[in-house]
Structure formats: structure tokens, C-alpha cells
Amino acid sequence: MMATTTVDPGYPTEAQGDLPAFHSVDEEAAFWDTHDVTDLSELTEMGEQPADSEIAARLVVRLDPADREELNRQAERQGVEPAALVQHWVHERLQSRRAG
């Protein structure tokens, strides 16, 4: 059974402490070109952390709006959540690369 999620990591993002909101990948890239994660104290403070298996299970991928819309259409046609479809595609690709 494939895991599903309702998290949409797209834009705009919300500001989080010293980390500003971003409205595009270009805006976010420009920010990280001039900042280091260690400059943002709340991102480097140790606190309660998720279990290792939970960390390993997550991957955030930002898609442009057209790709996200197409992903949503294809997932709907197949009757699955977009995240489940992406997970299936990644699994298929990795398996084919392993075999090739």
C-alpha cells in the first residue's frame, strides 16, 4: 500500500521566524544565495526531533504550477493522491535503473 499525503509544498510559503515567505522558486533561490541555514537560529536549535524513520520518509519537491496541475490531473484519472502517484513513479524509475 502506498502512503499518501495532503501536504502541498508549493508557493507561496509562509514566513517562519527569520525565514521569510517566498512567492516563487526564484525568490527562494535568491534568498539562499545570500543566506546560510546556520544564520537562522530557530532552524539550527535542537528541539524535539521526529524519529529517524519519519525523516527518511519525507522528501519535499517543489513543482511549477503547470507541472502540479498536470500531476493532479493524472492522479485524479488514476484515482490516487498526487503524492502516491509520484511515489509510484519514483519507485518504478529506481527499479528500472537498478535492472538496467
pLDDT of residue 70: 94
24 lies in a domain?
Answer: yes
* Residues 46, 30: Cα–Cα separation, whole Å: 26
Taking a C-beta distance cutoff of 8 angstroms, is the pair 78, 85 a contact? yes
Four-CA torsion 54, 35, 40, 16, nearest 10 degrees: -70
> Is 37 in the same domain as 67?
no
Within a domain: 7 = no
pLDDT of residue 5: 47
Question: What is the enclosing helix (H) or strand (E) of 66?
Answer: helix 65-78
The per-residue pLDDT for range 20-33, each reduced to its tens digit, is 888 887 788 788 78
The predicted pLDDT at position 1 comes to 46
> Range of 36's domain?
12-41
pLDDT 10s digits, 37-79: 776 665 545 555 555 555 556 777 888 999 999 999 999 999 8
Average pLDDT value for the chain: 76
- Total of domains in the chain: 2
**Which pTM does this prediction carry?**
0.45
Looking at the fold, whether 37 and 69 belong to one and the same domain comes out as: no
Q: Residue 49 domain-assigned?
A: no
Among positive and negative, which fits the CA dihedral 69, 74, 79, 82?
Answer: negative
